[in-house]
Structure formats: structure tokens, C-alpha cells
Structure 1
Amino acid sequence: MNYDFREIEKKWQKTWVEQKTYKVTEDANRKKFYVLNMFPYPSGAGLHVGHPLGYIASDIYARYKRQCGFNVLNPMGYDAYGLPAEQYAIKTGQHPAITTEANINHYREQLDKIGFCFDWDREVRTCDPGYYHWTQWAFQKMFMSFYDNAQQKALPISQLVEHFEKQGTEGLNVAQSEELSFTADEWKAMGEKQKEETLMNYRIAYKGETMVNWCAGLGTVLAND
């Protein structure tokens, strides 16, 4: 008997999409299980071998947990926002939205051919304004907050300023880059620039100086890895 895997795969993958086989809905009667995958950057080259290696492993585990009765959330998305897309646009003269969309479609086609059990209704694209609106919002919240050790929570930076104006650093129990000591009078005598530099010592997200790995090709900093 001839096993025509191409036709068989095509038939069942079409069925899974039409019937939304892997769509996840909230179910309070079942234990929840979230499978966290690394989102690929959708380059023009398509998937590389490292992508399916990881996704196959998480896919097997997701199917196992589903068979064990868990309500499994196994989403996929694209880390599609950043300098590589910008540089590619500069080199080719194409808008990054156009090339990124084309690359994402190519990735989706490849991922579907492998037959992963992703819930595509939960797809995330980091280049989507609806997504990065919230990442920017979160960063702004962190920048405008400090961490109070006594209350074990973040508080508005304005409350820290009030503390400085009344008693300087006396009685302060907060997270900080380095321990500073100044009085209320010394705080009030600081210029606006010095005050802002001092607050950087306490902000949850802050601006600082450090050694970096510079990439001349991209014109920016690279992570250590």
C-alpha cells in the first residue's frame, strides 16, 4: 500500500484549521497548562533547524499534557520588531511592514507543514501596535516607579520625591543601585539635572552607563549572547 504522506498531511492539516482543533477556551473545570515557546524572528531565510527542534519538543509535551486532561494553551507568535527589519528595509528599499508580513506568511506556511498544535487565534506579533502599545506602557510604568522593600511593591516615583523633600534619605527602605545619603535641605539644593540623576538610582527602569558590545553593521548595541 502506498503511503502518500503529502496528501494525508494536507487533508488533516486542512481539517485542523477548519475545525479549530487546537483553539483554547477558558474552562474552570480543568487544570491550566501554558506552553511557552520562543518566538522566531521572521527573516527572509525562513525557519532554521533550531526552530523546529525546540517546537517539536514543546509540541510533544503539549499533546501529552492535553491527553492528561489539562487545558493546554500553546500559542505562537513572531518577534518581528527591531533593527534587522529596519536594516533589511534600508538595503532593499522596501517598507519593513511589507517584508515582515511576507516573511511571517512564509514562516506560517512552514510551521503548518510540520503540523504543530498551536492555537493560532492567540498569535502575537511584536510589530503590531496593539502589542507594543502595552510594552511601552509597562516600561513607562516601571520608569515612573520605585520599589518599596517594606511594602513589597512598586510605588509612584512622586512618593519618593515627597520623602526626599521631607526627610532626605532618612528612614528610606527601598531598592537602589547604590546606597545614597542626603538630607532634605541637600535634596532641595540640587538642580533639576542632579535630582533626575539621583532618581535614576531608584527607578525600576533606569538610564545608566555601562560597557557594551557595539555592532558597526547595525549601528547599535548587541546583547552578550
Structure 2
Amino acid sequence: MEYNFKEIEAKWQSRWRADKTYKVETNPSRPKFYVLDMFPYPSGAGLHVGHPLGYIASDIYSRYKRLKGFNVLHPMGYDAFGLPAEQYAIQTGQHPAVTTEQNIARYREQLDKIGFSFDWDREVRTCDPGYYKWTQWAFLEMFSHWYDRSKQQARPVAELTAAFETSGTEGLDAACTTEMHFTAAEWNAKSEREKEQILQNYRLAFRADTQVNWCPKLGTVLANDEVHDGLSVRGGY
């Protein structure tokens, strides 16, 4: 008997959507399992061959773990910020918000046709203010905290500053990049800039000078994998 994949796939995918077959709810009675794929960046007209190559493998594993009794969380989203989306908008003469929305719709259509078991109620878009609000919040929280090894927890930097003012580094067991030792008098004698440079050594997230790949034509920095033989892969700049 011939396998009419168009008819069969459409029928069951419609059923999965209507029943929210892959929607995940909290269920303490079942062991948890989390499968996270690399989010595609919707900068072009659709998926490339590398996307389903990886997603099919993780989807197979997700289905296997469900059949083994696990409560599987398998979300999907879009890495929609960054150079590729920006360049696609420039090339097509449109606003990134417009092209990104159109490309996401195309990606979703293609992903649905393949029939992946994603929980689309948990979709993430990194260009959504409701998403990056929290990534920015998390970074600021890390920037304003240090790690107290004696208490095995993160503590506000204000507590660290207060400790430096009264007893320097004596008695502190703080995670840091470089071990430092100074007295309260030495700390209090330093300028505000010098104090901040010391605190950078303890903050969970910190500022630092480093070398980057700068592309004048694109007006941005590039990751190492975006550079080949000293030139930008995107355009040969």
C-alpha cells in the first residue's frame, strides 16, 4: 500500500496542534528531561539543510524519552537578534522588525511540516522585549553580586565593599579571577576608579578589555567563525 505522506502527515499534525499533544505541564510524578536545540536565526528565506539535520536527531531522542516515561520539555525559539538579521534587512531594504517577523513565519511553517514535537507554548524570540528584558536583568544581577565560597551563595557587592572598608580581604573566602590581599586602610586610600577595578575581580559578570574582530564596513564586531583569512565571511570586508 502506498504511503500517502501528504495526507497522513497533515491529518496527524492537525490533531497534534488541536490536542496540544506536546504541551508540557508540571508533573512531579514523572522524572524531568530537558531537550534544548540551537535556535535558528531567521535571517533568510527559510531553513537550511543543517537545521533539520540536528533537529531530527534531538526530536527522536525527545520522543524516546517520552515513551520511557519522562516528562520531556522540548521547546523551540529564534535567535532573532544580531548581524545576520540586520544584514538581511539591509540587503532587502526593509526594517529588521518586518523581515524578522516574516522569516519567523516561514521558519515556523517549515518546522511544522517536518512534524517536530516542540512545545510551541514555550516559544522564545530573542528580539522580543519581554525576553531580553530578563536577560538584561540577569546580567545586572550578576554584575552586582560576588560569590561567597564560605556560604556557597552569591552576595551583593555592597556587602563585599563594606567588608573591604572594615577589614580588607582578611577572613573573606570570595571567588575571584586573581587572588588579592589588602588591608582596610589600603582599600580606603584608593580612588573610586581603583576600587572599581578591584571589584571587577570579584563580580560574577565583569567588564574587561579584550581584542575583537572589528569590521568597519559592517560597523560591528565579528565572532572568530565569521572571519576567514583575515576577512569578514559576509561580504569579504
Fold equivalence (TM over 0.5): yes
1:87 and 2:87 are equivalent in the alignment:
yes
Aligned length in residues: 225
User: Counterpart in 1 of 2:202?
Assistant: 202
Query: What amino acid sits opposite 1:78 in the alignment?
Result: Y
Q: Report how far residue 91 of structure 1 moved.
A: 4.2
Secondary structure at 1:75 match in 2? coil
Match of 2:187 in 1: 187
On the 8 A contact 2:41/2:85 being kept in 1, the answer is no
- 2:42 matched to which residue of 1? 42
- CA distance in 2 between counterparts of 1:91 and 1:224 reads 23
Q: Supply the distance in 1 between the matched residues of 2:128 and 2:93 (Cα, whole angstroms).
A: 21
Deviation (angstroms), 1:38: 1.1
TM-score by length of structure 1 reads 0.92
- Tell me which amino acid in the other structure corresponds to 2:62: A
Mapped partners of 2:150, 2:222: distance in 1: 36
CA contact (8 A) 2:75 2:118 kept: yes
- Whether contact under 8 Å (2:43, 2:88) holds in the other structure is no
In structure 2, the residue matched to 1:33 is 33
The Cα of 1:132 is off from its aligned counterpart by: 0.9
Question: Deviation digits for residues 121-152 of structure 1, max 9, x if unmatched?
Answer: 11111111111111111100000011111111
Other-structure match for 1:72: 72
Which residues of 2 match residues 65-214 of structure 1 at below 5 A?
A: 65-214=65-214
**1:2 CA drift (Å):** 4.4
Query: For the residues of structure 2 that align with 1:35 and 1:190, how far apart are their CA atoms?
Result: 49
Which stretch shifts more, 161-170 or 5-14?
5-14
Structure-2-length-normalised TM-score: 0.88
Cα RMSD (Å) of the superposition? 1.7
Q: Deviations over 1:184-225 (max 9, x none)?
A: 122112121111112111111000112333344433333344
Deviation at residue 158 of structure 1 after TM alignment:
0.4
Provide the secondary structure at the position in 1 that maps to 2:221. strand
Amino acid in the other structure paired with 1:171: G
Matched residue SS, 2:210: coil
Q: AA paired with 1:43?
A: S
Partners of 2:148 and 2:19 in 1: CA distance: 50
CA distance in 1, matches of 2:31, 2:131: 27
- Percent identity (aligned): 69
Q: Counterparts of 1:200 and 1:2 in 2: how far apart (Å)?
A: 66
Distance 2:193 2:8 in 1: 67
Unaligned runs of 5+ in 1: none
Q: Which letter maps to 1:132?
A: Y
Deviation, 1:157, is 0.3
- Could you tell me which amino acid in structure 2 is paired with residue 60 of structure 1? I
Partners of 2:112 and 2:72 in 1: CA distance: 19
Note the residue ranges of structure 2 that are not aligned, 5 or more in a row: 226-237
Task: State the AA in 2 paired with 1:176.
Answer: C
Report the alpha carbon displacement of residue 44 of structure 1 after superposing the two structures with TM: 1.4
Cα 1:9/1:132, change in 2 over 3 Å: same
Q: What is the distance in 1 between the residues matched to 2:186 and 2:180?
A: 12
1:85-131 C-alpha deviation (Å, 9 max, x unpaired): 23333444422111111110010011011111111111111111111
The 3-state SS of whatever aligns with 2:109 is helix
> Structure 1: which amino acid aligns with 2:149?
N
Residue 20, structure 1, aligned to residue 20, structure 2: yes
Residue type matched to 1:94 in 2?
Q
